[in-house]
Structure 1
Amino acid sequence: MLLGVIVISILVVLGVVYFVPRKIWYVIGMTLIYQIKYHYIGFISQLDDIINARHNKTDLPLVPNKIAIVTGGSKGIGAEVVKKLLQCDMEVIIACRTTTAGEKLILEIRKSGITSGRAKVYKLDNCSLESVREFAKKIKADYDKIHILINNAGVMFIPYRETEDGFEEQWAVNYLSHFLLVSLLLPLLKAGGHPGDCSRIINVTSCAHYIADIDFASISNSSKNTFFTQAAYGQSKLAQTIFTITLQKLLTDKTLNVLVYSVHPGLVKTDLFKDTLLGRNKWLMIAWKTPDQGAISIIYAALNKDIERKGGIYISNCKEAAPPPLALEEQIQKQLFELSLRQIRLNNFFQHL
């Protein structure tokens, strides 16, 4: 009888395997693989945050003559970055999709007792390249220099959606819109930088870049039929890190006083996780950083003097860390840069200088 049960069980399993389409098995397998990858890198990152917690600190120097832009600055880590920059007595431009959210943040910061600095809100929707162009146009009309650009806006693990420009949303918001924004604002960043006191670009990336790959075919021909949101998110963050290294080389070649850094803020409890298992079970994030703690490494990259002239590095917990090996491959750097130029329809990244 036991033998009969075993035989029937085997036949049932074989039947399921045979009749379930291969595509479904592929989706199940890839989903499982990415779950394992993200749990692994999450564990490593949390361990790093715990071990290096004593390093995750930075000064807030008074720099009243400096001007900073923070994309996605109305909530989460971005809001804490804005708060700390205002404590440095800077002028801070909050670039966000919903301007009322930015205005509300300013009121909350002032009510908290922080009265230093100047804060302004400008509309920027990173889903739209036209919005990026309009934002840059307004900034150029109102300012003749910028000292710090923090590319913080981001989305994570969202369902497949295409932007109005035809790009997968995580790719557009996390990476491509910021690629365009840097190109457009380079004249102001150039004007803000001086020898020994360079202007700075901060790309907020993620430890997810360690488990990511760059699939140029999928970037060029995004399709929901081959879409895995975890892969798309990691790819967009890896692209930020690659862009950081590539751009620093180009800026150095042109002897511009502009530095670029990529920063992993750590595992931070924010709304980015609201649609995930973690977001629905917040107790799982009990040992994670607060948004305030996550903002510290970003401020370090923006203002710390010890890393002056050390552009292109990757920072985690206010320390230089090793970037993913893929980000160091020159052919990958070149291919990504050229593809990005085609996607934003620019012939020359420096054509606005």
Structure 2
Amino acid sequence: MLLEAIVICVLVTLGVIYFTSRKMWYTIGLTLLYQIKYHYIGFIYHLDDLFNARYNKTDLPIVPNKVAILTGGSRGIGAEVVKKLLQCDMEVIIACRTTTIGEKLILDIRRSGIARGRAKVYKLDNSSFESVREFVKKIKADYDRIHILINNAAIMFGPYKETIDGFEEQWAVNYLSHFLLTSLLLPLLKAGGIPGDCSRIINITSVAHYISDIDFASINNSSKNTFCTQAAYGQSKLAQTMFTITLQKLLIDKLLNVLVYSVHPGIVKTELFKNTLMGKNKWMMFKWKTPDQGATSIIYAALNKDIERKGGIYISNCKEAAIPSLALEEQIRKQLFELSLKQVQLNDFFQYL
């Protein structure tokens, strides 16, 4: 009887593994592959940050008449970007999910001795398209032009979760919400740009775009049963890079005085890594960039005059860097752009101009 029971248990277990767990084993294998890729690319670009540290610097020009919007500006790299923009005597709109954190940041910045600039906090939840539209409605009521839009808000390596709009969370927060936000704010960005001093859109990406792919099947049919969080994060960042190139070409065709850049801040020690091995063992982050150093390339892209009319480039350590080969494939970029329009329910990216 005992032998029969053991045989039955073994057969049932093997059957379960063979018939119902193939997707699980695929996901485990994909996860391990991406972990290897991330550790490799992270190590290479950590060395790149160290080697190119002497280039990672930029001026903070005084531009009191400019208005900037920064998503995810209440903490981490975003908070340091806010600080630097205020030092430029700009008006800075902190778009964040928890406004009390944004208000506290402003108080802390003022207490640190930075008195220049004006700062306001508006609620924006990047996981909700309704929140994006409500945010833009309020901005349009209060402003007639915007000069800089920094699409910075991001989450990384969380468990599978769908937003209220039905999209995988990293895809929606890191990419789709910024796609929609940029389209809705184009009238104000158009009004803010003039020849020789264009408005600028900064899409924050990552070196993860070098090791990632655009998997249209997973985008259209995301499922927790086949979900690899590392692949999803990299895909969202590659999409940001592709969006930058596509949008710049369209802006040129429309003869608009608006430039777009994608920026990799560097391998930066922030809470974004809380779900990683390094985040749980902070000693492994030794010699990583600080949030202040990570903010530098973003400010460079937003304000440096040397890159005026060089829209579409990818910037790392305040230098133009190589764009991943997949992002140069026009057909994939076109397919992604058309899918994005459909997902955020836009008929035309320029429909609000």
TM-score (norm 2): 0.94
Q: CA deviation at 1:19?
A: 7.3
Residue in 2 that maps onto 1:249: 249
- Partner deviation per Cα, 1:229-288 (whole Å, 9 max, x = no partner): 000000000000000000000000011000000000000000101121111100000110
Q: CA deviation at 1:195?
A: 0.3
Q: CA deviation at 1:18?
A: 8.6
**8 Å contact kept, 2:126–2:132:** yes
Q: CA deviation at 1:217?
A: 1.2
**8 Å contact kept, 2:154–2:173:** yes
- 1:187-336 aligned at under 5 Å gives the runs 187-336=187-336
Residue in 2 that maps onto 1:9: none
Equivalent residue pairs, number: 339
How far apart in 2 are the matches of 1:180 and 1:69? Answer: 14
Q: CA deviation at 1:17?
A: 8.5
Residue in 1 that maps onto 2:67: 67
Letter in 2 for 1:199: S
How far apart in 2 are the matches of 1:256 and 1:95? Answer: 25
- 1:1-353 aligned at under 5 Å gives the runs 20=17, 21-353=21-353
How far apart in 2 are the matches of 1:301 and 1:273? Answer: 24
How far apart in 2 are the matches of 1:216 and 1:325? Answer: 17
How far apart in 1 are the matches of 2:16 and 2:94? Answer: 54
Q: Percent identity?
A: 82
Q: CA deviation at 1:25?
A: 3.0
How far apart in 2 are the matches of 1:141 and 1:332? Answer: 37
Letter in 2 for 1:231: A
Letter in 2 for 1:73: G
**8 Å contact kept, 2:23–2:226:** no
Alignment RMSD, CA only? 1.3
Q: CA deviation at 1:32?
A: 1.4
Letter in 1 for 2:180: L
Q: CA deviation at 1:23?
A: 3.5
Unaligned runs of 5+ in 2: 1-12
- Partner deviation per Cα, 1:5-62 (whole Å, 9 max, x = no partner): xxxxxxxxxxx99974434432332221111100111011111101100000000000
Residue in 1 that maps onto 2:5: none
How far apart in 1 are the matches of 2:280 and 2:37? Answer: 20
Residue in 2 that maps onto 1:12: none
Letter in 2 for 1:176: L
